[in-house]
Structure formats: C-alpha cells, structure tokens
Chain A
C-alpha cells in the first residue's frame, strides 16, 4: 500500500537496497494470512475434508457396523447400484416433485406479495415487518406447530374449519398425496419470507419514474408491470429461484419431523434416505454415493437454471 521500494532504498546504504522493502512485504502477507486463517481453516473443515472423504468413501464398501471387517475398494459399484435401488429412485422422484411444485409456488406467492407490498400506501411498515418474521423461526418449530398441531385431524383448526364448510375429515399425514401437500405448504409458508424480502429490496431500487412514464403512454397497470417492472426484476428473480431450488433439493428438516418419509415411502427425500442409511444404518459408503448424486443433481440443475436465466436476460 504505502511501501514503495524506491523510497526505502534512498535512505539505505546501497549494498542492501531491496532488503527492507522485501522484509516489509513479507510481514504484510504474513498479517494477511493470519487474518484469513480462520476462514481457510473453516473452508478446509467444512468443504475440502468432507468432499474428499465422501468421494473416497463412496468408492469403498465401508459400513460402520461391519466391525473389524477390512474396508475394500469397490470402484463405482455404489454409484451404479443406486440406479437399480427402488428406495433411491422413489426418493429421487419425490424430491423432484417437491422441487418442481414448491419452487415456482414460492416464487409466485413471493412475487405477488412483494408487488402488493411495494404498491401499498397504508400500513406498509407493519406488513414489511410481519412478512419477514418467519425467517427467524426454526424449520422444526414451523413443522411442529403448523404441520403437526394445526393440520392434526382431531385437535387442529384446519380440519375443524373444513368440517364446518362441509368437507369430510382429511387425514393429512396418513394419505400419500396430502402428506406431500402438507410438506409443500410448510415449505411455501416458511420459504416465501426470503423471496418477498429480496424482491421488495429489488423493487425499491427501481426508479419510480419508469412506471409513471409508462402510464403517461397510456399503459394499464397490468401491462406496465409485465412489460417494464417484471423484466427489470429478472436478475433478482433468477437469484431467488436459484437459492430456492438449491434449498428445496436438500429438503430434510420438515420431512423428518413431520412424516419421517411416510406414509410408506410417499414423502421419502434423498437427504432423508442418506440420513437413514448412512447415519442410522451405518452404511457410510452407499450413503456417500447417494449424497454425491444429490450434489451432482443440484449442481446440474442450478447450472442449467443459471445458464437459461443468463440467455433470457441478455
């Protein structure tokens, strides 16, 4: 920054002209390294080590409960085995269905609420504060309170209200279809807060003259939104979509607390299967292969969405 070799050399005997400058530079890079050391160690601890470990484990037949048995290298057997495993295929399908429904729904609800919030005149502050509160709640609390207590067919208010409207009792978690629906509802309830917040921030950064100009030109509000505001939101929208997609593929908390994958295998997700087989079942090698398959899927889907959004916005 302020160390200039030229300044240093002038004050020193000519025999060792560069030494002080170099000494200073070395000291600075040492400070830099110390400052960044916790970040480096963290990355190694939560990324490099686990990634290397699971790649290695996925190529072996390591099982925690095979005490004393030597761990053998089996190549890509686990990775191939996956695609013949009904459990994995069902979990994969369930997770894909969950992502395909929950992500667009979260975005659409979020967009609607964000636009409404942006155009509100009265009570804006109140709604703003209320709408982002779910972000501070834990996934477990939301699942326990809404998913288990409120959707309970006997003590919950949801079925009680439906009953008064003449709808026969719905056993939400006992039926495969409604169980998945409940999980999607929870994800949308919880995840929309983040979407709303990001979209509102984006809407507020747009110049207000844009809409006024469109209205002077005689465009209706509906058209003004789709032709002017919405395209300007695309970069943020694609970021929001990416975040939601990546999160939805990993879904675990809601399902494990709410249904444990049931009824049967109707709500089994990939993360849940990895937990059951790797942590509870001790089959580290096979679970590693499954978890990697999930990671590869996330990377491919996120990459595709990113690529599409770039082509679309350019």
Chain B
C-alpha cells in the first residue's frame, strides 16, 4: 500500500520522539552510575570523555566496600518475589484447571466466578492496607518475609487463576480424555499433556507475578520497617536522606534492581505480552 509523505513523517516523527523520551532517562541513569560526585554536583554533564571522565567508583563501592548496604534488601526481594511467583503459578494452575474444565461451581457458572476474581483489582491498596496492618500485628507477621509472601501470593493468585483459565480452556479436553482412555490418571495427563501445552501462559504468569512482587511499594512500606525491607523501599529511602544524595550510587542500585527484569522481559516478551493483553481486555 502506498502511503503519503505526511503519514510517513507522522509515523517516524512520533516513533522517534517517544523512543527518545524512553531512552534518554535510561541513558542518563547509566552514565550517572559512571560519574563521580564532583562530576554530578557541578551541574548536568552529558557526554562521557567530553563533559566528564567516566569512573568505576560507584560500581567498585557497590561490590567491594558496601555490599552489606544493599545486599540484604536484594536478598529479601529475591526470596519474596520468587516464592510468591512459584506459589501463585501452582495455585493458578490448580484453580485455572478447575474453572476451565468444569462449567458450574455450585450455584455459580465458572465464568461468573472468574469475573469475581478480577473484581478485587478495583479496590485501592490504601483501603486494604489498614486491615492488613492490624492483622499482621496480631499474627506477628509484621516485618517478616513470610508475611509479605502470604500477602503477595493472595493478591496474585486470583489473577493467575483467571489468566490460566483462558490458557487451559484453549487446550481441547478431547486430548486429555483420549490420553485417559489409554490408562493414564488425570494427574498424569495434566502433567504430561496439559502442562506443556499451557507453558507459555505459565511462564507469562510467573514473570508478571515476579515483577509485581519485586516492584511492589505500598504494602511493603506499610508492613516492613527493618528486617524484611525490599528494594523499592530501600531505593526510595536513598533520596529521602538529609545529606546530599549519592546519585551515582542510586543510579547503580537502580540499574542493578531493574536489569534482571528487563532481560527477562526482552527474552520472554511474547509470553508476557500475551498475558498482559489477555489480563486486560477479555
């Protein structure tokens, strides 16, 4: 199809502008992590070797002198988000299988139930955080990793169930039935036939839940204060100090905290996008 010049300019004008808006902050963080304190506080510097001399100071500091300043928080976030993602994936498979394979659940149609699962997204975290604070206090879960894992899993499970229901429904039930006629148990069929077929969906759910738990801020802020503080809280605390902020350190921490997810996102983008699109529109 032949396109007019104006349309071509619109397309690439918009694409270039938006790319620059996205890329420039990323460029800025990366270069800042290679600046020294004087190169930052003397005003903005843009180009390495021209404006400022790149230095490995931040990275050296990060990995040699001050690992205990940030490593515990990364460990907390890693444990919490991986366990949460694993639990939500398993629970999501279980519930999704039930909703996909049985039309009715007591008085409800499965579809109605699926809708109910998503209703919780409407409620603001501010509303849910107050009772959680009281409950965590009573159960001695405040400032524990177990507490955050339970909470994040409970928040992610309905989403995982709902998303995986769609994927499992797309696997024809006849495949399972014919395998069962050959003498396999239902559980065996699920593991050897259904699971591999919905693996793309499962990977998507796993990464989305992982990213959600890794990036979550509100509940971590309310429910943790020292032992189980996560990366977002740590990062936010860096700039609320009264002394001047060590921007090169903040930048390096920021890169370190987002790098794994960006790589995962690049490698697994198809799986994740399918999950995100299905999660919103259907």
Chain A interfacial positions (CB closer than 8 Å to B): 1-2, 31-32, 34-36, 38-39, 41-43, 45-47, 49-51, 53-54, 57, 109, 112-113, 115-117, 119-120, 123, 127, 129-141, 143-146, 148-150, 154-157, 159-161, 189, 194, 197-198, 201-202, 211-212, 215, 220-221, 236, 239-240, 243, 246, 249-250, 252-253, 256-257, 270-271, 274-275, 278-279, 284, 287-288, 291-292, 294-295, 298-299, 302
Contacts and interface: CB of A to CB of B under 8 A. Distances in A.
B10 interface: yes
B251 A46 contact: no
A197 B128 CA distance: 29
B117 A39 contact: yes
Interface string B271-282: 001001100110
Main secondary structure on A side of the interface with B: helix
Contact of B94 (A38, A51, A133): A38
Contacts of A249: 124
B247 A291 contact: no
30 contacts: A36-B98, A47-B119, A47-B120, A49-B135, A50-B130, A53-B134, A57-B131, A113-B15, A120-B12, A130-B22, A133-B265, A135-B265, A136-B264, A138-B215, A138-B232, A141-B254, A144-B236, A148-B239, A157-B28, A161-B44, A197-B273, A198-B281, A201-B277, A239-B281, A257-B217, A257-B239, A271-B218, A274-B124, A275-B222, A292-B127
Nearest to A157: B44
B258 A246 contact: no
Contacts of B261: 136-137
Interface in B82-118: 91, 94-95, 97-99, 101-102, 105, 116-117
Interface of B: 1, 3-4, 6-7, 10-15, 18-19, 21-25, 28-29, 32, 40-41, 43-44, 46, 91, 94-95, 97-99, 101-102, 105, 116-117, 119-135, 150-151, 153-155, 157-158, 161, 177, 211, 214-215, 217-218, 221-222, 231-233, 235-236, 238-239, 245, 247, 250-251, 254, 257-258, 261-262, 264-266, 269, 273, 276-277, 280-281
Given A134-B22, A136-B258, A112 B124 contact: no
Contacts of B154: 41-42, 45-46
B125 A117 contact: no
A280 to B, nearest CB: 10
Nearest to A120: B11
Contacts of B119: 47
B10 A291 contact: no
Contact of A50 (B13, B127, B266): B127
A249 B265 CA distance: 28
Interface centre among A41, A131, A138, A221 (most CB of B within 10 A): A138
A9 to B, nearest CB: 22
A127 B15 CA distance: 7
B7 A221 contact: yes
Nearest to B176: A1
Contacts of A1: 101
Contact of B269 (A132, A159, A253, A284): A132
Nearest to B260: A136
Given A116-B11, A239-B281, A43 B116 contact: yes
